Amino acid sequence: MAYHNQPEIAKLGAAHLFTPDLEKSLWFFHDVIGLEIVARTETKVYLRAAMEREHHSLVLEAGERSRLDHVSWRVRRPEDLDKFYTQLTENGTEVAVQAPDAEDGYGESLRLQMPSGHKLRLYWDVEKPAVAEADRSVLLNQRYKSWNRGIGVRRIDHVNLWSTHEPEPVHQWLTDNLGFKLREYVQTPHGRIGGWMSVTPLVHDIAVMKAGPHETTPARMHHLAFWLDNAADVLRAADILVEAGIKPDQGPGKHGVSQAFFLYVRDPGSGHRVEIFSNGYLIFDPDWEPVEWGVDDIATALAMWGPTDYIPHTDDHVMNTTTEA
């Protein structure tokens, strides 16, 4: 059997976002969301959360338009980068090799594009910067102090992408080429409107959903999610956002899909949507069968309780979250 030698993705690494107002976005992600700054240049800031060891989980870059540049994924073993190169190329995906970048802490990496137009990057080597003693947690298994600032998210969790293409073939491509397993999906008579996929026991490291009918930009990001340990922490986040002058976009509420307790909010500098979330569940079963939510269950799938207005084809939800095709 071949699959034993297939390369694997270990985890979501980082999202790279462009923002037309870098200072305001930095204020939002650093002061309000509570990410820590690892490095910055004139046009870019690298940030990570309290629990994270790698160089960064978020890059903010100044740019004319707000867009998701790419999503980075760490492979499971050093040799998986080469294997992915071979496998992807043989399967017809164009792959560019990017030389190590002293600035972002990555070694050699691969660049490729999903059939939906979203851009991905794969890497193995990555710096794991230490933390100055003043900021260091008393917990040896944690980088920065808990509750250091603002909401104090614990780690990046997942990305949720929007596509004008039918999502089902995109899901299949993610399975065939990168090994993502479909965990849950919503099916209507008109097709699959979204799928939640992972390589980890999280219900999703990535989701790909169908964009609304009036959408012209083929590849967007719906949201980037950060994790908190308790639902109560998400409620505290809502207070902090409003006190900072930022009205949450939607929530709090509970998705049936993935059982996420969620709160959505837009970065006021860029319009990128961030999900502050907790709860959910983990999948340890190696033979998990994808959960299908049909038309009768779609209301529960999208909102077991809480707001019911974020059905994903409402066009005005997508402005300012464009990814270039």
Site for its own copies in 130-149 (CB under 8 A): 137-142, 145-147
Determine, following the binding rule CB under 8 A, whether residue 304 of this chain makes contact with its own copies.
yes
Per CB under 8 A, the segment of 22-30, 56-64, 249-257, 317-325 that binds its own copies is 249-257
Determine, following the binding rule CB under 8 A, whether residue 86 of this chain makes contact with its own copies.
no
Number of Cβ atoms within 10 Å of the Cβ of 98: 14
CB of 142 to its own copies, least distance (A): 7
Determine, following the binding rule CB under 8 A, whether residue 317 of this chain makes contact with its own copies.
no
Phi and psi at 30, nearest 5°, equal -90, -55
Binding to its own copies in span 52-81, by CB under 8 A: 53-54, 74, 76-77, 79
Per CB under 8 A, the segment of 159-167, 174-182, 213-221, 243-251 that binds its own copies is 243-251
Per-residue contact flags (x/-) with its own copies for residues 196 to 225, judged by CB under 8 A: ----xxxx----------------------
> 23 or 239, CB closer to its own copies?
239
Q: Under a CB-based contact definition with an 8 Å cutoff, are residues 278 and 227 in contact?
A: yes
Give the C-alpha separation, 65 to 266, whole Å: 15
> 173 or 288, CB closer to its own copies?
288
Q: Under a CB-based contact definition with an 8 Å cutoff, are residues 318 and 312 in contact?
A: no
Q: Are strands 67-75 and 119-123 parallel, antiparallel or unpaired?
A: parallel
CB of 268 to its own copies, least distance (A): 15
Q: Tell me which residue has tokens 């919503």.
A: 186
Q: Which two tokens stand for residue 1?
A: 């059997």
Secondary structure letter of residue 287 according to DSSP: T
Determine, following the binding rule CB under 8 A, whether residue 85 of this chain makes contact with its own copies.
no
Give the C-alpha separation, 203 to 220, whole Å: 21
> 37 or 235, CB closer to its own copies?
235
Per CB under 8 A, the segment of 58-66, 86-94, 105-113, 286-294 that binds its own copies is 286-294
Q: Considering only residues 105, 194, 253, 269, which one is a binding residue for its own copies as defined by CB under 8 A?
A: 253
Give the C-alpha separation, 174 to 170, whole Å: 6
Number of Cβ atoms within 10 Å of the Cβ of 287: 4
Secondary structure letter of residue 90 according to DSSP: H
Closest CA to 74 of 3, 108, 124, 38: 124
> 83 or 165, CB closer to its own copies?
83
Secondary structure letter of residue 290 according to DSSP: P
Determine, following the binding rule CB under 8 A, whether residue 311 of this chain makes contact with its own copies.
no
Closest CA to 51 of 150, 144, 127, 171: 144
CB of 248 to its own copies, least distance (A): 5
Determine, following the binding rule CB under 8 A, whether residue 314 of this chain makes contact with its own copies.
no
Determine, following the binding rule CB under 8 A, whether residue 285 of this chain makes contact with its own copies.
yes
